[in-house]
Structure 1
Amino acid sequence: MTDSKDFLYPRGRYYGKFNPEYLAFDANLQEFAQRISYICALQTNGKISAEEAYQQIKSLWQQLKSSKQQLGIDEPEESDDED
């Protein structure tokens, strides 16, 4: 039997350039997407209001932006192909 956490919070593989900060941000991004999906489903089914859904999504967006800044991945990396 599979773990219910794996069912409720599936994780995809990370295929980008390996960097611990990118890996952490990818995990944060996947969690953001999953939580947005739940909020949208709750709002669509009338369990929460559109305003409440908007506020929750806005809060999640701010958290995601903050995590990106804290991980220090705001600056685009220099590419060797630009020479």
Structure 2
Amino acid sequence: MGKTIMKKDNFLYPRGRYYGQVKPENLVFNANLQEFAQRVSYVCNLETGGKLSPDEAYNQIKALWKNLKRTKKQLQIGENLFQDGDDHPES
């Protein structure tokens, strides 16, 4: 009666809550990072189960990593760390 049916996508692609500094680029990167982790997990499971060769698993994870690095650079994550002005250490 009061049960909530979990959608297939929510089960297959769970998303964790974001607790960092709320900025659009941080939220986008966090979503990309979670997707990266989920896909790496799938690739590892496929390799462990014998469905992928170790070389193919490595190549797929390497491609996922390059894509994540590219999006990090495009979003300028980690750059301009002191732009807000409130990140300076107190005396």
CA distance in 1, matches of 2:12, 2:49: 18
2:75 to 67, 71, 79: 71
Identity within the alignment, %: 57
Partner of 1:80 in structure 2?
Answer: 88
Query: In the comparison of the two structures, how many residue pairs are matched?
Result: 83
**Offset, 1:2:** 1.0
Structure with more relative contact order (C-alpha pairs < 8 Å, separation 6 or more): 1
Instruction: Return structure 1 stretches of 4+ with deviation > 2 angstroms.
Output: none
TM alignment of 1:17-28, pairs within 5 A: 17-28=21-32
2:59 is the alignment partner of 1:59: no
Partner of 1:36 in structure 2?
Answer: 40
CA distance in 1, matches of 2:27, 2:45: 27
CA distance in 2, matches of 1:77, 1:34: 28
Question: Which residue identity is paired with 1:80?
Answer: H
**Offset, 1:42:** 0.2
Residue segments in structure 2 that go unaligned for 5+ positions in a row: none
**Offset, 1:81:** 1.6
State the TM-score, normalized to the length of structure 1: 0.94
* Structure with bigger gyration radius: 2
**Offset, 1:77:** 1.0
Decide which structure has greater helix share: 1
CA distance in 2, matches of 1:32, 1:76: 24
**Offset, 1:62:** 0.2
Residue segments in structure 1 that go unaligned for 5+ positions in a row: none
